Amino acid sequence: MQKDVKKQNISVNEIATTNVISVPQTMSIIHAAKTMTKNGFRRLPVTDSGTNKIIGIVTATDIANLMGGGDKYNLVSGKHKGNLISALNDSVHEIMSKNLITFGEDSMVEDVAKVIVERKCGGMPIVDKDGVLIGIVTERDILKAFVDTPNYMCVKDAMTKRPHVISPNAPICSVTKEMISKKFRRLPVVSDEVLYGIVTVMDILKHVGNGEVFKEMVTGNASDVMSVPVRNLVSGNLLTTTPEESLTDIANSMLKKNIGAFPVIYNSTLTGIITEFDLVRALTKI
């Protein structure tokens, strides 16, 4: 049986992921994308090669931003004059987040969870007293710790209602713009009120990391990729839940199946989406 985190007030070093893969700021963006894709990570801490002190973090959302979603596309359109291949071979230093919040190894899980919820970010780096990276705490780590917290809530009590949706024919650039502007990591794909699937920032990352993005290029320009319909990225394996399923059951399903979100279906219609973030937000309030 897992510890009751709130009652025992345990420190983050008891739940943190410690076998963290970090990268130097000189690593190319495409190499970072491949590393994340290979290991199933949404984020990579960027560390100083000499000291291993954390200096930044690069995420799947940063890749989506670069792929036309937001201001990081300026790297493609400006410095690299629209050439996506050239931009992807630039260093992660160009797109990584530098203004970081970090926690010490003796920080409390509740404090980390609070910041993750407030900032809507998927994880927090853990450092020692010298700023050296020693671990990372993710939504998944917190969910594992809180999953057995006694509660009487159902999916409908924590889900995001009336989620933003996107058409399967929408180009990748529209998807990334929606994700970045609304701060979503996933969007249901709906056609004629029928749920087609879910597209995530990890789908976009994998599109880059597994090399598919290069197969779509004719000229090397970003427009070759940006116009690809999102249906090309959507997985056919779709699992759903209902508004009345217990929060504990859906949390355990997420952990067991290694899935970050479930569409919520009522009367054959998409009525919401329940994510790891939603569960962390709900369970840490109990």
Count the neighbouring beta carbons within 10 Å of the beta carbon of residue 26.
Answer: 11
Same domain, 181 and 64: no
Same domain, 115 and 171: no
Give residue 284's pLDDT band: very low, low, confident or very high (50, 70, 90): confident
* 180 pLDDT above the threshold of 50: yes
Q: Which two three-digit tokens encode residue 108?
A: 């409390």
Same domain, 12 and 58: yes
> For residues 208 and 169, what is the distance between their CA atoms, to the nearest angstrom?
19
Per the domain annotation, does 10 fall within a domain? yes
The helix (run of H) or strand (run of E) holding residue 248 is helix 247-257
Taking residues 49-53, report their average pLDDT.
93
The predicted model scores a pTM of 0.87
Same domain, 161 and 262: yes
The pLDDT, as a whole number, for residue 4 is 46
Same domain, 15 and 120: yes
The pLDDT, as a whole number, for residue 229 is 92
The pLDDT, as a whole number, for residue 60 is 93
From 94, 113, 138, the end of a domain falls on: 138
Per the domain annotation, does 32 fall within a domain? yes
Same domain, 190 and 129: no
Same domain, 196 and 117: no
The number of domains in the chain is 2
Same domain, 255 and 159: yes
* 3 pLDDT above the threshold of 60: no
Taking residues 131-145, report their average pLDDT.
94
Q: Which residues are within 8 A (CB) of 25 and not within 5 positions of it... i.e. 6 or more apart? A: 46, 48, 55, 56, 91, 92, 93, 96
Same domain, 90 and 177: no
Domain that holds residue 15: 5-138
The chain-wide mean pLDDT, for the chain, equals: 90
Q: What is the share, in percent, of the chain residues with pLDDT greater than 70?
A: 94
Residue 211: CATH number of its domain: 3.10.580.10
Same domain, 95 and 174: no
Give residue 218's pLDDT band: very low, low, confident or very high (50, 70, 90): low
The pLDDT, as a whole number, for residue 225 is 77
